[in-house]
Chains A and B, each alone.
Chain A
Amino acid sequence: MTPAWTLISAFAGALLVLLLPARFAGWARLIALAASIIGAVAAAAACLTKLQHPDAAVWSFDREWIHDLGIRFHLAANGLSLTLLLLTGLVAIAGVLFSWNITLRPRAFFAFFMTIIGGVYGVFLSRDAFLLFLFYETVILPKYMLIAVWGSTNREYGAMKLTLYSIGSSALILIGLVVAYAAAGGTSFDLDYLASFKYAPSLQSWAFPILFLGFAVLAGIWPFHTWAPTGHVAAPTAASMLLAGVVMKLGAYGALCVAMPIFPQGFVEWRLVIAGLAVVGIIYGALTALTQKDLKFVIGYSSVSHMGFILLGMATATHWGLRGAMLQMISHGIVAGLLFGIAGRVVYERTHTRDLTELQAFDLWRTLPGAAIAFTLATAASMGLPGFSGFVAEIFVGIGVWQSDPWLILPVAVGIIVTGAFSLRAMHRAFFPVRKPTAEAATMLPPLTWPEISAIALLITFSAAIGLYPMPWVTLIDDGLRSPLFHSILSLP
């Protein structure tokens, strides 16, 4: 199975679900699950093959597409994109499982869901800037629809805000890409070609921030992060998982694999600004999460904080930093998906509240022990405790920071401490109440269903696997970082 099956399965799944006759609407979730599993298996198989044959080229597909503009339909994968494909596949499976009980227009729901998944796969596979941008933009409208139709709190506002931020940042990306294309002769959108072209330094110093900011907004860079908490809270569970889990990674991936390689000198010039914003994001996100009343808002702001680590890792311009950024993408993708799944689906569907004070009345530790255990594990992973993926990623980023700008390690340490504080606070308030619950509220809630258990188990397993044995992932990521794209960045002082 080539990685192409990720893309094919997602879009074919979307189409199939859409064409389903009304009386088979119940099959939509089965089709979506099958398509997600095919995608994840294809990605996993490609990862394993790559690990066994590290020197073999993975796979590529290259056809002429729009000749007059030098645009090719060029898909290919390296180790780095394979890890992200696998992450997407995992989050897709978990997302479908956590939406098992969707009854409102399920066909449309799963069609939009699979379209987002397909778009994300497409971005990770594209080797042509136009194609990448096309897939990137494909995701925007389904996101709006998922939130506006199936969302909860303030859904129309959250959906519109998120969409406007997305499309605004896309405009910046469009400008940046078109500048790169035109300045390189206007003959090709090939990413490797654009990355190998030597742009004038004066051009790089203004074009880089445009292109980078375009991607970084979607990665939740402070102060352009406000769409993320509102959007994630308004979204239905599966969409929150996708948004925080993989869609934000699109921004980080674009910043790392498009903006930085194309304008490396511009990147060096702006490196410290990015690092500064990233550190502010880490601390600001964590402090804000500390004061939230809504469990989903806590997770939303924790995403801002965690995404800050990714941006910081990139801004170090060191091998360790980039490795850490990549690992953090994968780690946060899994953990954020897990947290949103538990808070939005497992807890909310049973208690109909996400308010940390009101949740105390339910005494969830006794009435819903499964969720409490899962959330505790997820919190541990999110805080970056050893044994989970977040630990490895944050250590790597820390090493990178130490190598490039040692003084930045202090604010990062503060951020890590505050992260521990807000994680423990949220977990404690939501699941382990201090005061005695009222008698009538503390009846047993329905236990976890099998889709919930399997989704939780899948994600926790992967987070722990990365935390305990990160080597395969590091090997794959290093394969990607060895590509010529990063030569001009990693050879820098």
Chain B
Amino acid sequence: MNYPALFVQLLPEGLLVITALLLLGVAVATEAKTKRPLAIDVTVAISALGIAVACAALYYCPFRPESGTSLLVMDPLARVFKAVVLMLGLLAVLMPPARHEIAQPGEFHALLLFALTGLLLAVGTDHLLFLFVALELASLSLYLLAGFSRTAKAAEASLKYFLFGGVSAAFFLFGLSLLYGFCHTLTLPAMAAALDAGPLPPFAVAGLLMVVVGLGFKLAAAPFHYWAPDVYQGAPATSVGLIAAASKAAGVVVVVRLLLVGFEAAAGSAVWGGMKPGWALWLGVLSAVSMVFGNVLALAQTSVRRLLAYSAVANTGYVLVALAANGATSAAAALFYVVVYGLATFGALAITAAVERDRGDDSMHSFAGLVHRSPLQAVALLVFLTSLAGVPPLAGFVGKFAMFGAAMAESTSQGIPGLTWLVGLAAIMSAISLYYYLMVLKQAFVREAADSAPVAMPASHRLAVLVPAVLLVALGLFPAVLLSPLTQALLATLRGL
């Protein structure tokens, strides 16, 4: 084993851990000396710097796919998504909680960096046990981050997240152990070969089903989504931003790697008239349930955070449409969409957080007259919500179109598209979703504000709003910039096995 090369490959993760430890050290030292916790701006600066250096390390370090092992894969897919996770994490850091919300900013940001480390490791591994450990590192940090503000709601959020997450981890692990019992190996390429050999015995199918259920919990797919609304509402906005964007993007990569690459042989089919049991069919069902549940329940929400939670469930459904098609282009479109979705939902959360701080609650009425109070924030909100709704020329539109088009094309045989039932449902559900996004925009643009004082927003918070907004417009106009590398990366990963 080539340890120096491995060390270089682990540099981004290593830098994150070093920054986190440094942060903890500085926090403890200053607190002992001044009897006051470290200023939040300092912790933001340190962690942002750490992430930026990790990004640079990822970009500048020599890229040698051959030096990887199954524990640490360094394929283009991993590289692209490590960058995506780091960027989404950086955005979360730039939108820190307010001073009165958290008592120990040093610990908060250290945990955030640990969560990012876990996500980075999960994105780039072919070894199931290592994957589990990486996901647990991320999850345990996220449970704590969700409850960090120590309010009753945050505690509820954290507990629910932890209990659901714990159960899902148990499912995931038990499913993996059953699959291990069948394949006698824990690395994906070897498992793929073993699964190719013949039909699966029932216990292996049960294992696969459990893995899908576990992943469904992580992605907040209905009916495993019950933690999402409370976490989105109760947790600090920074934590929600991380859970909604970075963690979801990594989760989708894990699904792609695990199912499309590793367990391709057990896919089955979700095609109308030719359905075969397997993960593609299960994902198709999860997708349909998520889209219907998420969209219908979002219609009834008055809290914007809860609305975004149900929108997250619905959007998981759209992503699963593309994954259920079990093809390279549709999976690439799903990866594109999850990045775009992360940016949009993060931006919407960032503005919701600012409005909530200003008005004291996150109900739709708090947004009334935002266009008169803070025109730029209102325009940014317009960009985020309409991108989520899939309105051109924003990236959400291209993403959805690409997913649905590719899913349909991948499922076509002999001139008959097989996934019309699912894509049709997705298109109709996506149309319904415009209603609840418009309800928020109606408050912001049509209704009058009680007063015209602008909504306060610190400079770094503004950056966390501006960057996603600009990216959504740019990716909407030039989607190939991201979509083509993702397709190439995915094809390379598929070929590699």
Interface residues of A (CB under 8 A from B): 65-69, 130, 133-135, 137-138, 140-141, 144-145, 148-149, 156, 160, 163-164, 167-168, 170-172, 174-175, 178-179, 181-183, 185-186, 199-200, 203
Contacts and interface: CB of A to CB of B under 8 A. Distances in A.
28 contacts: A65-B480, A66-B479, A66-B483, A67-B484, A69-B329, A69-B333, A69-B402, A69-B405, A133-B401, A137-B391, A138-B393, A140-B391, A145-B445, A148-B442, A149-B446, A160-B435, A164-B434, A168-B431, A170-B431, A171-B430, A175-B420, A178-B417, A178-B427, A181-B408, A181-B409, A183-B416, A185-B412, A186-B412
Contact of B401 (A138, A141, A156, A174): A174
Interface string B396-427: 01100110111011111001110010011001
B441 to A, nearest CB: 8
A145 B444 CA distance: 11
A200 B416 CA distance: 8
A178 B404 contact: yes
B445 A181 contact: no
B423 A175 contact: yes
A179 B408 CA distance: 7
A182 B423 CA distance: 12
Contacts of A135: 392
B479 A141 contact: no
A186 B420 CA distance: 14
A478 B408 CA distance: 36
B339 interface: no
A465 to B, nearest CB: 35
A457 B432 CA distance: 42
Contacts of B430: 171
B409 A186 contact: yes
B487 interface: yes
B445 to A, nearest CB: 6
B408 to A, nearest CB: 4
B252 interface: no
A163 B445 CA distance: 15
Interface residues of B, number: 40
Contacts of B415: 183, 199-200, 203
Contacts of B397: 134, 137
Q: Which of B329, B333, B405 has the most CB of A within 10 A?
A: B405
Given A69-B405, A182-B405, 18 more contacts: A66-B479, A68-B329, A68-B483, A68-B487, A69-B406, A69-B483, A137-B392, A149-B446, A160-B438, A164-B434, A167-B434, A171-B431, A175-B420, A181-B405, A182-B412, A186-B409, A186-B412, A200-B416
A174 B438 CA distance: 20
Main secondary structure of the interface of A (DSSP, over half): helix
Contacts of A171: 427-428, 430-431
Interface string B367-396: 000000000000000000010000111000
Contacts of A170: 431
A164 B393 contact: no
Contacts of A134: 392-393, 397
Interface in B332-360: 332-333
Contacts of B398: 66
A179 B427 CA distance: 12
A88 B397 CA distance: 25
A66 B411 CA distance: 20
Contacts of A181: 405, 408-409
B480 A66 contact: yes
B388 to A, nearest CB: 13
A158 B67 CA distance: 62
A336 to B, nearest CB: 26
A215 to B, nearest CB: 15
Nearest to A199: B415
Contacts of B401: 130, 133, 174
A145 B398 CA distance: 22
B487 to A, nearest CB: 5
A5 B397 CA distance: 25
Given A138-B393, A171-B428, A66 B402 contact: yes
A168 B431 CA distance: 6
Given A163-B438, A178-B423, A181-B409, A68 B332 contact: yes
Nearest to B483: A68
A142 to B, nearest CB: 10
A455 B415 CA distance: 51
A163 B432 CA distance: 11
Contacts of A199: 415
B320 to A, nearest CB: 17
A172 B425 CA distance: 10
A167 B402 CA distance: 18
A48 to B, nearest CB: 32
A195 to B, nearest CB: 16
Nearest to A183: B415
Contacts of B435: 160, 164
A370 B410 CA distance: 62
Given A65-B480, A68-B480, A69-B406, A167 B446 contact: no
A139 B408 CA distance: 26
B458 to A, nearest CB: 25
Contacts of B423: 175, 178
B424 A175 contact: yes
A178 B408 CA distance: 7
Given A69-B402, A69-B405, A181-B405, A203 B416 contact: yes
Contacts of B333: 69
A170 to B, nearest CB: 7
Nearest to B409: A186
The 9 residue pairs across chains A and B that have the minimum distance between CB atoms: A186-B409, A182-B408, A171-B431, A171-B427, A182-B417, A182-B409, A134-B392, A182-B412, A167-B431
Contacts of A140: 391
Given A140-B391, A164-B435, A183-B417, A149 B408 contact: no
Contacts of A65: 480
A305 to B, nearest CB: 28
Nearest to A140: B391
A65 B402 CA distance: 13
A235 to B, nearest CB: 14
Nearest to B479: A66
A453 to B, nearest CB: 33
Contacts of B391: 137-138, 140-141
B411 A182 contact: yes
A426 B427 CA distance: 42
A65 B415 CA distance: 25
Nearest to B420: A179
Which residue, B392, B409, B412, B442, has most C-beta atoms of chain A within 10 A?
Answer: B392
Nearest to B336: A68
Contacts of B411: 182
A141 B428 CA distance: 17
B421 to A, nearest CB: 10
A138 B392 contact: yes
A178 B430 CA distance: 15
A135 B427 CA distance: 17
Contacts of A186: 405-406, 408-410, 412
A178 B392 CA distance: 17
A126 to B, nearest CB: 12
Contacts of B406: 69, 186
Contacts of A200: 415-416
Nearest to A214: B427
Nearest to B379: A18
Nearest to B447: A156
A68 B401 CA distance: 13
A149 B397 CA distance: 25
Contacts of A185: 409, 412
A68 B481 CA distance: 11
A183 B412 contact: yes
A149 B487 contact: no
B55 to A, nearest CB: 26
Contacts of B409: 181-182, 185-186
Nearest to A150: B446
